[in-house]
Amino acid sequence: MFQGNSALSLDAKGRMTIPARHRDALLSDSHGKITITRNLDGGLLIYPRFEWEAKRKIIMELPTSQRGLQRLLLGNAQDVEMDSAGRVLIAPELRDIAGIVKDVVLVGMGQKFELWAADKFAAQQEEDLAAVDLTQLSGFAL
């Protein structure tokens, strides 16, 4: 289970180092194999490979009326592996889609991660905070 966020920087080749606190879980659960795809919110989604395979099956079974969604998610998916230093390459096409140049935020979201350009993440956090309506969450307390 992934949670928390990490401010990171891509190197000159577009590689990101997975934080140590997540690296061990990714190595043991998916042997360092992950899939990165487009997030409809503007960043990227990063799944351990076994989680992505289950999600991919669901996406492929969507009705033909959802072909556009399939194209966005499956057509942009990239399978990558962590190298011996715990780095993964974020493909240039995906970096362009997400507006990622150098500084990023990796956000643990349970079974997956979101990857955001740092400036876009800060703006999204403000939007998320403004949109919270606790009256819609009866029975929820922190």
Domains identified in the chain and CATH numbers: 2-132 (3.40.1550.20)
pTM of the model: 0.91
- The C-alpha atoms of residue 131 and residue 135 are separated, in whole angstroms, by 12
Partner residues linked to 36 by β-bridges: 46, 78
Q: What is the pLDDT of residues 8-40, one digit of tens each?
A: 999 999 999 999 999 999 999 899 999 999 999
DSSP per-residue string spanning 51-74: HHHHHHHHHHTS-GGGHHHHHHHH
- The C-alpha atoms of residue 5 and residue 44 are separated, in whole angstroms, by 14
pLDDT band for position 1 (cuts 50, 70, 90): confident
- The C-alpha atoms of residue 20 and residue 28 are separated, in whole angstroms, by 13
Q: What is the pLDDT of residues 52-88, one digit of tens each?
A: 999 999 999 999 999 999 999 999 999 999 999 999 9
